[in-house]
């Protein structure tokens, strides 16, 4: 009668869960957010609508979307003291190091969730985080190149604002390129949620202790940073640059990825769940071509990428193991074409995944049957043994 499915406590305590947010069929290559197919959402919605859908469970009406966009703009500035933090980081600090720590520190500047009934402020906290994460992301880039911060504008959309905060300058007549804005909007939607992936599971597990939303999302940022997860898009570009720099042939690198005597894997290929083409990769591949049509091949990286894709998808080793290009392969290329520095790729992945993290945090928090996540283990250590006093130990 609560609308929640009750299930075996053992299932609850493992940190596994039932969820109504995202559906994936890895065999058929299906991805849906709250019942809507990902291609339908990319075709008909913008990132603000999809964020609203994931967090609130329904798509917004025109008025609801306008009000949400107004709130996000209203909360897009950072506390002045927070701005000063950026200047204390080394100029070459990885933006994910800055992002994770700045998101956690939001709870110091906006402690509303530590008050008596955090539920009173949860909507405010969610809106603040959705908006300030974008500002923190852009500022972390400006810090890395020693530029002044550019504040968000009331008359720009979520994606226009981000690109403007990244690239505008008083000495440039900069305006966010509409194709770049469209590509960023689509990529943020494609990254918005993906069931119980590593970083979302981290957010749920930390949130299950009733840690505040900022702290839980900071944990998600740290999990996402790994090259096997959200760091893969940056690893794709590093891999392609390595091929070019070392004068390797694409065939050589594919053979190396098949050779079990080393741990090298093709970044941007394979997936734990999809054993067919990642539906997101299919959409991102189309977007890649659109951006390429505008930007042109400004370096040989694109040629290497397209050759690698062609060889891998026709190679028996990859076909037998259902290894296809995943979303990170095309995302890395698109961001590269948009001249976004590769250290920022995972930061943009985090911006996209944020609504999903928030939705999962709220789902666990509002489920009366969920307890603190407590995965179990199979013990494989030594049998019971007695301590030998230090003086007798040899």
Q: Which residues are catalytic?
A: 271, 328
Select from 269, 335, 345, 361 the one that contacts ligand SDX (CB under 6 A): 269
How much of the chain is in helix, strand and coil states, percent to nearest 5?
A: 60, 5, 40
Q: By CB under 6 A, is residue 257 in contact with ligand SDX?
A: yes
Q: By CB under 6 A, is residue 360 in contact with ligand SDX?
A: no
- The tokens for 180 are 């770049």
CB neighbour class for 159 (10 Å; exposed up to 12, middle 13-18, buried from 19)? buried
- The tokens for 288 are 């890649």
Kindly state the smallest distance separating residue 82's Cβ from ligand SDX, in Å.
28
Q: Are 17 and 364 in contact (CB under 8 A)?
A: yes
Q: By CB under 6 A, is residue 272 in contact with ligand SDX?
A: yes
Kindly give, in sequence order, each residue whose CB lies less than 8 Å from that of residue 265, ignoring residues fewer than 6 positions away.
Answer: 257
Q: Are 161 and 76 in contact (CB under 8 A)?
A: yes
Contact region with ligand SDX (CB under 6 A), list: 99-107, 179-187, 224-232, 331-339: 224-232
Select from 265, 277, 307, 342 the one that contacts ligand SDX (CB under 6 A): 265
Closer by beta carbon to ligand SDX, 49 or else 328: 328
Where in 310-349 is the site for ligand SDX (CB under 6 A)? 321, 323, 326, 328
Q: Are 332 and 268 in contact (CB under 8 A)?
A: yes
Closer by beta carbon to ligand SDX, 2 or else 263: 263
Select from 32, 34, 134, 194 the one that contacts ligand SDX (CB under 6 A): 194
Kindly give, in sequence order, each residue whose CB lies less than 8 Å from that of residue 215, ignoring residues fewer than 6 positions away.
Answer: 104, 107, 206
Q: By CB under 6 A, is residue 251 in contact with ligand SDX?
A: no
Contact region with ligand SDX (CB under 6 A), list: 88-96, 114-122, 261-269, 382-390: 261-269
Write out the residues near ligand SDX by the rule CB under 6 A. 194, 197, 228-229, 232, 257, 265-273, 321, 323, 326, 328
């Amino acid at each position: 009668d609560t609308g929640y499915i009750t299930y075996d406590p053992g299932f609850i305590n493992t940190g596994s869960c039932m969820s109504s947010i995202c559906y994936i069929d890895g065999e058929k290559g299906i991805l849906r957010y709250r019942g809507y197919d990902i291609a339908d959402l990319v075709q008909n919605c913008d990132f603000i609508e999809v964020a609203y859908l994931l967090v609130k469970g329904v798509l917004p009406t025109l008025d609801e979307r306008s009000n949400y966009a107004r709130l996000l703009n209203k909360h897009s500035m950072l506390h002045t003291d927070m701005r000063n933090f950026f200047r204390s980081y080394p100029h070459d600090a990885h933006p994910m190091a800055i992002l994770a720590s700045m998101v956690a520190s939001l709870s110091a500047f906006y402690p509303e969730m530590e008050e008596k009934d955090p539920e009173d402020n949860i909507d405010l906290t969610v809106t603040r985080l959705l908006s300030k994460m974008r500002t923190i992301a852009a500022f972390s880039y400006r810090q890395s190149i020693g530029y002044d911060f550019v504040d968000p504008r009331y008359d720009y959309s979520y994606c226009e604002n981000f690109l403007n905060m990244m690239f505008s300058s008083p000495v440039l007549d900069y305006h966010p390129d509409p194709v770049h804005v469209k590509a960023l909007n689509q990529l943020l939607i494609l990254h918005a949620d993906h069931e119980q992936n590593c970083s979302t599971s981290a957010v749920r597990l930390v949130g299950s202790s009733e840690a505040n939303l900022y702290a839980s999302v900071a944990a998600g940022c740290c999990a996402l940073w790994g090259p096997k997860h959200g760091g893969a898009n940056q690893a794709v570009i590093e891999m392609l640059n390595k091929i070019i720099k070392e004068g390797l042939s694409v065939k050589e690198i594919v053979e190396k990825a098949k050779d079990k005597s080393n741990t090298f894997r093709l970044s941007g290929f394979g997936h734990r769940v999809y054993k067919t083409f990642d539906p997101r990769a299919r959409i991102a591949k189309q977007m890649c071509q659109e951006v390429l049509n505008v930007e042109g091949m400004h370096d040989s990286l694109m040629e290497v990428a397209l050759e690698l894709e062609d060889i891998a998808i026709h190679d028996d080793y990859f076909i037998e193991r259902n290894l296809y290009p995943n979303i990170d392969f095309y995302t890395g290329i698109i961001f590269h074409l948009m001249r976004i520095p590769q250290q920022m790729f995972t930061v943009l992945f985090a911006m996209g995944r944020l609504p999903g993290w928030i939705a999962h945090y709220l789902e666990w928090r509002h489920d009366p049957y969920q307890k603190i996540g407590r995965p179990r283990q199979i013990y494989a250590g030594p049998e019971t043994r007695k301590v030998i006093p230090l003086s007798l130990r040899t």
